[in-house]
Structure 1
Amino acid sequence: KVVARSWTSGPSAASTACTYSTSCAPWRRSTPTCWSSSACTRRSSSTRKNPAALAAAVERYGVRHPVLDDPELDMWQQYAARAWPTLAVIDPEGYVVATMAGEGHAEGLARLVDELVATHEAKGTLHRGDGPYVPPAEPETALRFPGKAIALDGGNLLVSDSARHSLVELAPDGETLVRRIGSGVRGRADGPAGAAAFAEPQGLCRLPEHVAEVAGYDVVVADTVNHLLRGVRLATGEVVTVAGTGRQWRSTVDDHAHDSLSVDLSSPWDLAWYDDKVIVAMAGIHQLWWFDPIRRTAGMYAGTTVEALRDGPLAEAWLAQPSGLAVSADGARLWVADSETSAVRYVENGVLGTAVGQGLFDFGHVDGPADRALLQHPLGVCALPDGSVLIADTYNGAVRRFDPATGLVSTVAGGLAEPSDLVLTADGGVLVVESAAHRLARLAPGALSAVGASTVDGPRHRTERKPTEVAAGEVTLDVVFTPAPGQKLDETYGPSTRLVVSASPPELLLEGAGTGTELSRRLVVDGSVAGGVLQVTAQAATCDADAEHAACHLTRQDWGVPVRVVEGAPARLPLVLRGLDA
């Protein structure tokens, strides 16, 4: 029985149930378009509890399957989900036949669904039919769910027209169409402006002139859903792939430089020229990467792939779906909109710090001292000449400002429709990419002055995930993984599985932290610590059993599991990567 508020696009006898958020990159990658009979429930936040926001997300991403509006996480709790995304496969008779967390399940899902279709067609329990959903008509606008924008020479603007899979050049008024780069049809193709194809492009970065001359292109584009970086020659509009293979990254963290066209990427979301490189907000794996257009190499810059908020040296810090980048006027600081922690972070002198934000589960609209201020899923940042930074506070529908000189956060503008980026124009004005309104909006004159800003003391929210009770002393952590039908664990090049465990606070674990190759781990929990969060990363390598045409697959997931230490609680903690817990 499914209990929640309502359905978006109508109910269905679902074959796949999943949990996601209205902007969750992993969910969008985990549900291939070939499965139309899926029912999804979304994770909670203030805006995510708004039915209109959910409907907009369904429209933005072209979702055709039914979506269950589950703001109180009722379905989440019924399916004992502990990770985003979580998928449960339900057969036509209503039985859960598999549960999967994280990404990398597409091949296995396809095989499992094929088996279920054959089985239930033979039994007569499979009923086919079209869904009831009819998508709304597209608005007659130059842009449709635009993502990011940059200023060009002469005052024109280049905008990523994400839902139309193209780039749009606009006149300085932010409205008049100059040209479109890309066919407007989702795809992956290099070539002339009219033939090139993108898939939901987002970030844009104008290269310094001396770099562009050597590289042979002027602008780098984050081709998000294609997992690519593309180069654009502004004179002709020609598009060329400059980084990525088109495969999603599912490997191990390293500090190596890789050939840019041989390395896999994962949902690159924004770009900025910093530290003599293009820095990439790699939202899909919670990291920052770098790309060198001259040497044609790429590699990891910051983050471990753990989704959380932790400051420190770049290689040790944690991020959570970084989605916006901007460089300070003096070039010393890289600002980062870290969307899932509702935070503004910064890179300076080899260290990642936090300016505003509390973590994954604290958000709201509160101005004042930065250590108390709250944002809600910011997607963009814009550095101002005076050293302050503007924030596209997306789910609050606002533009916020943080001034490092005073340590204060204020609200510059409100009532916006999911602002996703800001761009400083040649005349000193600011344009806001108002994504859900399909337009660029100009901030009112004087909005950036002290008089124009306001101080909002709005609601504070905390997403309370019910902690898992664990016993003090020895606890067995079991990551459940069963290879998909037609696959087997692949130990050709060494151990097929890997498990990384850490804790926050570190004192929570007396033993068991670290990296190993077994998916079962003995932990020793300190009974004097009331609780905390266990950070668990697991991956499993499989290959097809058909030796002649075997393909390799890597399944990976990060969990942040809140735990409470209780005397007499279970001494086993199961996490399902794929399969069913016995």
Structure 2
Amino acid sequence: MTTTSDRRLPRVRASELTGRGWLNTGGVDLTLEGLRGKIVLLDFWTFCCINCLHVLDELRELEAQHRDVLVVIGVHSPKFVHEADPVALAAAVDRYEVRHPVLDDPNLTTWSAYAARAWPTLVVIDPEGYVVAQMAGEGHQNNVALLVRDLVAEHEAKGTLHRGDGPYVPPEPTSGTLRFPAKAVALPDGRLLVADAGHHSLAELEADGEALVRRIGSGERGLADGDAASARFSEPNGLSLVPEELRATLGYDVLVADTVNHALRGVRLADGAVTTVAGTGEQYMVGAADNVVAPDGDEPRADRSGLGYDGDPLGIRLSSPWDVAWSPAASAFVVAMAGNHTLWAFDPVADRIWRLAGTMNEGLVDGPADEAWFAQTSGLAVGPDGRLWLADSEVSALRSLDLPGTPAAGDAAHAVVGTATGAGLFDFGHRDGPADQALLQHPLGVAVLPDGSVAIADTYNGAIRRYARGLAADGSQAGPGEVTTLASGLAEPSGIVVLTEGEGVQLLVVESAAHRLTRVALPATLAGEILDAGAHRTQRPVTDLAPGVVRLDVVFTPAAGQKYDDRYGPSTRLQVSSTPPELLLEGAGDDVSLERALRLNPDVPEGVLHVTAHAASCDADPAIEYPACHLNAQDWGVPVRVTPGAADELTLPLHG
């Protein structure tokens, strides 16, 4: 049975937009008074967040269709310290092709004024300056489109809608061989292949890392197979060489994680031909009924979880694959599926793809692979012992996956996930030393060094870090290991290629925000410095809640012309947990209803409530044979303080 709240947002004036400054306005400070007559959509985002990047893509079509009546304003309210840097923000706006005004809100002033609790959050303001909707998470493109349609009709009739150009002013174009490169691989002939994300293509460079040999892909954002000149990518990231013995059989030499296309692409180096080998080109949405593609002419097959899928790689939607690496232990490529916090395996010989690890919950939980939680894994590398190393970006962690049958797994009968260093979603910094105390900040890349230690592209610290296991005399693990710094002062390093010449070792670092590849020579010992630039914790407004019973209500109402989609089971889902676990005496777990009674522990003064909600809806018109279905989903991490006499209700707007 589905339950929902019937409450609506009260009719209130929108709060003024206050921050440090504006981007994409030509130097003009915008005000809501100056935007009167337009429909205004505020997008509260932070550039580390994969869900926020999904929303940017969802908004592109809306902006194009309604540019004369709709003004989208990005309100950038940062999670990480690095994201509060105005230079880094300007680079991110450029990197992700944000073509609307952006308010820099480093102190979360406007975030607090609109009571935002999660990234992303959307707020719709009508032409008279009133808030008419607030919704958290991604998947709201259809809901917003219907709302804009209704607001246009209403305010055109009232004479309060003003058509015309909006306040967006494009920045000056830039040029260069590379534009926000993401990852790179060394090719068999010594040249380099770079995922040139900002140019939506691959760049083949000479061994010096500078001279361009050729470009694979037209440079236009899109999804199209074909030859090197006509193929299209959309922000490609990860690259992996196909094992030599498989290249002739498969017909391609490099596998590409084509992130924004939600696809894996094969590239044949002989002529640059590109082929889509996995994914449909559409984003996997947790809980949606049409993630699995049926044969032509059949109704899409229900796949509410996706966790049990094992089949045709072209028959299932993917979600922002960020990196790929060949695993001999799995006899398959491992895919870092950043968009839903999982790892998948792709076997191109058997022509199958399946979930390898992760539950789709976001967080840091170790243990059996099918119970582990990841957080936007963005870098992969396989060690000589078969261990898969992971740069788990949103928990600022270096983690590992040991597959059965590898030396790293020992006698384990099942794949096991572990954490070498990292504390969780909201703790980060630049601190070296014992690995169980060391801190990273949103790492995106990882590589294994010749001695088995691990180099980490510590992206938001602008550094290359090294993790070395603590070893006993017999070679077994002894202690937590150590983290050191190999290089610093880099511009958002996102990928590492290890180059060996004789006994020397060099790292070729993809400096994404500097649009270049940089060589870093390592000492013979591969040791680094011990640095401590301090620890940080994400600062967001704390919600005071009373001890004892607290009513949690996730507000969701299907958009006009839609109904709950119960065809394949319950259309809603609510998961609740807490950090520390002792904060919740009752109410943790997974259930259908979007309302739940929580019992907060009076002896735990503060913590974080982790709430994940899904709600599926579809077109309500019975005349439509195959109704369009939509999935709204959001994860909240709500900092709470247990305070006697405080509110005993917590309302979170999935869509309101």
When normalised by structure 1's length, the TM-score is 0.95
Query: Is the counterpart of residue 545 in structure 1 residue 620 in structure 2?
Result: yes
Query: Is the counterpart of residue 476 in structure 1 residue 551 in structure 2?
Result: yes
Q: Match of 1:137?
A: 173
State how 1:431-580 maps to structure 2 within 5 Å.
Answer: 431-443=508-520, 445=521, 447-450=522-525, 453-549=528-624, 550-579=627-656
Q: In structure 2, what residue type is equivalent to 1:25?
A: I
Q: Match of 2:293?
A: none
Q: Match of 1:339?
A: 393
Q: Match of 2:300?
A: none
**Contact kept? 2:574, 2:614, Cα under 8 Å:** yes
| Aligned residue pairs, count | 575
* Offset of residue 386 of structure 1: 0.2
Q: Which string of whole-angstrom CA distances, capped at 9 and with x for unpartnered residues, describes residues 280-336 of structure 1? A: 1111112212111112221222222222222222122222111111111x1421111
**Contact kept? 1:44, 1:72, Cα under 8 Å:** no
Q: Match of 1:15?
A: 40
Query: Is the counterpart of residue 187 in structure 1 residue 222 in structure 2?
Result: yes
Q: Match of 2:85?
A: 50
Q: Match of 1:296?
A: 351
Query: Is the counterpart of residue 203 in structure 1 residue 257 in structure 2?
Result: no
In 2, distance between residues paired with 1:449 and 1:312? Answer: 35
**Contact kept? 1:400, 1:409, Cα under 8 Å:** yes
Identify if the C-alpha distance between structure 1 residues 132 and 553 changes in structure 2 by more than 3 Å, giving closer, same or farther.
closer
Query: Is the counterpart of residue 422 in structure 1 residue 475 in structure 2?
Result: no
SS of structure 2 residue aligned to 1:325: strand
Q: In structure 1, what residue type is equivalent to 2:629?
A: C
SS of structure 1 residue aligned to 2:115: coil
Find the partner of 2:423 among 358, 382, 385. 358
* Offset of residue 340 of structure 1: 1.2
Query: Is the counterpart of residue 320 in structure 1 residue 375 in structure 2?
Result: yes
In 2, distance between residues paired with 1:81 and 1:297? Answer: 41
Q: Match of 2:333?
A: 278
Q: In structure 2, what residue type is equivalent to 1:422?
A: I
**Contact kept? 1:378, 1:394, Cα under 8 Å:** yes
**Contact kept? 1:23, 1:57, Cα under 8 Å:** no
Q: In structure 2, what residue type is equivalent to 1:21?
A: T
**Contact kept? 1:211, 1:293, Cα under 8 Å:** no
SS of structure 2 residue aligned to 1:185: coil
SS of structure 2 residue aligned to 1:26: helix
* Offset of residue 451 of structure 1: 8.2
In 2, distance between residues paired with 1:6 and 1:200? Answer: 28
In 1, distance between residues paired with 2:311 and 2:643? Answer: 47
* Offset of residue 510 of structure 1: 3.1
In 1, distance between residues paired with 2:598 and 2:170? Answer: 51
In 1, distance between residues paired with 2:363 and 2:116? Answer: 18
Q: In structure 1, what residue type is equivalent to 2:350?
A: R
State how 1:225-264 maps to structure 2 within 5 Å.
Answer: 225-250=260-285, 251=287, 252-264=305-317
When normalised by structure 2's length, the TM-score is 0.84
In 1, distance between residues paired with 2:573 and 2:369? Answer: 23
In 2, distance between residues paired with 1:405 and 1:437? Answer: 34
Query: Is the counterpart of residue 27 in structure 1 residue 101 in structure 2?
Result: no
**Contact kept? 1:282, 1:321, Cα under 8 Å:** yes
Query: Is the counterpart of residue 267 in structure 1 residue 325 in structure 2?
Result: no
Q: Which string of whole-angstrom CA distances, capped at 9 and with x for unpartnered residues, describes residues 153-208 of structure 1? A: 02111110101111111111111111111111111111111111111110011121
In 2, distance between residues paired with 1:24 and 1:528? Answer: 33
Q: Match of 1:109?
A: 144
In 1, distance between residues paired with 2:277 and 2:202? Answer: 17
Q: Match of 2:436?
A: 371
* Offset of residue 470 of structure 1: 2.4
Structure 2 gaps, min length 5: 1-15, 288-304, 403-408, 410-414, 472-480
Find the partner of 2:461 among 375, 396, 400. 396
In 2, distance between residues paired with 1:450 and 1:458? Answer: 24
SS of structure 1 residue aligned to 2:47: coil
SS of structure 1 residue aligned to 2:221: coil
Q: Match of 1:305?
A: 360
SS of structure 1 residue aligned to 2:549: strand
In 1, distance between residues paired with 2:97 and 2:539? Answer: 30
**Contact kept? 1:398, 1:412, Cα under 8 Å:** yes
* Offset of residue 450 of structure 1: 4.6
In 1, distance between residues paired with 2:534 and 2:184? Answer: 30
**Contact kept? 1:155, 1:426, Cα under 8 Å:** no
**Contact kept? 1:392, 1:421, Cα under 8 Å:** yes
SS of structure 1 residue aligned to 2:371: coil
In 2, distance between residues paired with 1:306 and 1:491? Answer: 22
**Contact kept? 1:44, 1:73, Cα under 8 Å:** no
Q: In structure 1, what residue type is equivalent to 2:395?
A: T
In 2, distance between residues paired with 1:89 and 1:388? Answer: 49
**Contact kept? 2:202, 2:215, Cα under 8 Å:** yes
Root-mean-square deviation (CA), in Å? 1.9
In 2, distance between residues paired with 1:494 and 1:115? Answer: 31
**Contact kept? 1:313, 1:351, Cα under 8 Å:** yes
Q: Match of 1:215?
A: 250
In 2, distance between residues paired with 1:507 and 1:376? Answer: 27
**Contact kept? 2:79, 2:539, Cα under 8 Å:** no
In 1, distance between residues paired with 2:523 and 2:509? Answer: 13
In 1, distance between residues paired with 2:633 and 2:174? Answer: 37
In 1, distance between residues paired with 2:112 and 2:583? Answer: 25
Q: Match of 1:62?
A: 97
SS of structure 2 residue aligned to 1:153: coil
Q: In structure 2, what residue type is equivalent to 1:470?
A: L
Q: In structure 2, what residue type is equivalent to 1:472?
A: P
* Offset of residue 226 of structure 1: 0.7
**Contact kept? 1:44, 1:71, Cα under 8 Å:** no
In 1, distance between residues paired with 2:514 and 2:605? Answer: 46
In 1, distance between residues paired with 2:612 and 2:219? Answer: 38
In 1, distance between residues paired with 2:653 and 2:482? Answer: 43
In 1, distance between residues paired with 2:276 and 2:394? Answer: 29
Q: In structure 2, what residue type is equivalent to 1:397?
A: G
In 2, distance between residues paired with 1:38 and 1:257? Answer: 40
| Percent identity (aligned) | 56
Q: Which string of whole-angstrom CA distances, capped at 9 and with x for unpartnered residues, describes residues 455-502 of structure 1? A: 222132211233322233322211100111222212223322122222
Identify if the C-alpha distance between structure 1 residues 575 and 425 changes in structure 2 by more than 3 Å, giving closer, same or farther.
same
* Offset of residue 253 of structure 1: 4.9
Query: Is the counterpart of residue 38 in structure 1 residue 98 in structure 2?
Result: no
